Amino acid sequence: MDRTIASTNKNDTIMKQPALGQKILALRKQKGLTQEELVAQCNLNVRTIQRIEAGEVTPRSYTIKTILDVLGFDLDKISTQEDTWDTDKTGINSIHLKIAWICGVVYFLLGFLEFAADYSRYFEGDMLMANAPYIILKIGVLATYIYFIWGFIITGTLFKQYLLKIASYLLIGINLLFYSYDIISLFTATIYTEQVITTNYVITTHSIFYGIAAFLFGFALLRLVKPIGKLATISGGLMIACAVFFIIVFLGFLGYIFSIPAIVLQIILLFKVETLLVEKQKEIA
């Protein structure tokens, strides 16, 4: 018997077994109810609850709504949440997401110092610091950025958002390439005119390619609205705005300005994903 659950709203949502039974079992345990106590409040028999939790049957929406009402959970919410998760990947260690958003905070703070150092180097022709601390700064920013973005690769895996994973890999690859240039170019001897031309070319290329990858990344974030909510919409919209400014190149300074709130929201987003994953793992346990 393979029926589906339709919500009472005009736009039907679908949830199939065995995810339904697992969810009801988890909610019942959270409430501290036995099967007998649950059926007593729902006017059902124990065998029905046993078969539902075992994933053997999917009853009518009215029956499910009655059970969920007793358990204090909304039918529409449960249907929406279960559709978004890749249940085979919920065993991912949530500590990786915690490290990712913490790295995001470090990257965000280091970014201000990096911007000052790069602006002084590329636009004023003067190094703000010696080569050694500059290289250490660049490596630190790159390392924290990679792990920060790795959190979105994990997020893409959890929510089956493959575009998010692809865009994240692109961002990592592009930054690896151009950060390597920043370091290597310190030891490349060229006359001033050639250096200025090369620098302008590299900055323009970086801005365009980063903008393209950022646009894909922002669009992918918009697709997380179902599990994450408005936070994904605002974060994705800001990232797309940044991307457009970077692609235009001469408006790149606006891209840097918009990236400040965009990164903050991305950090919050990863924190929320970590929280959702922990909750999901508790339900399954």
Could you report the per-residue pLDDT of 76-94, keeping only the tens digit for each? 555 555 557 766 676 788 9
Pick the residue with more confidence: 20 or 145?
145
Q: What is the mean pLDDT of residues 18-35?
A: 81
Dist. CA 150–CA 167, nearest whole Å? 11
- Residues 122, 161: one domain? yes
Residues 245, 191: one domain?
A: yes
Domain count along the chain: 2
Are 34 and 135 part of one and the same domain? no
Q: What is the average pLDDT score of the chain?
A: 85
Res. 11: pLDDT tops 50: no
Asked which of 36, 57, 84 is the last residue of a domain, the reply is 84
Residue with more model confidence, 23 or 252: 252
Range of the structural domain that residue 76 is part of: 19-84
Nearest 5°: phi and psi at 89?
-110, 5
Residues 54, 164, single domain; the answer is no
DSSP conformational letter for 40:
H
Same domain, 121 and 29: no
Residue 71's CB is within 10 A of a number of other CB atoms, namely 19
Taking the model in full, what pTM does it have? 0.74
Same domain, 102 and 52: no
Last residue of a domain, one of 54, 84, 114: 84
| Whether residue 267 sits in one domain with residue 210 | yes
pLDDT given for residue 70 in this prediction: 84
Three-class secondary structure of residue 231 per DSSP? helix
Read off the CATH number of the domain in which 76 is found: 1.10.260.40
How many whole angstroms from its chain centre is CA 274? 9
Mark whether 243 and 268 lie in a shared domain.
yes
pLDDT band per the 50, 70, 90 thresholds, residue 24: confident
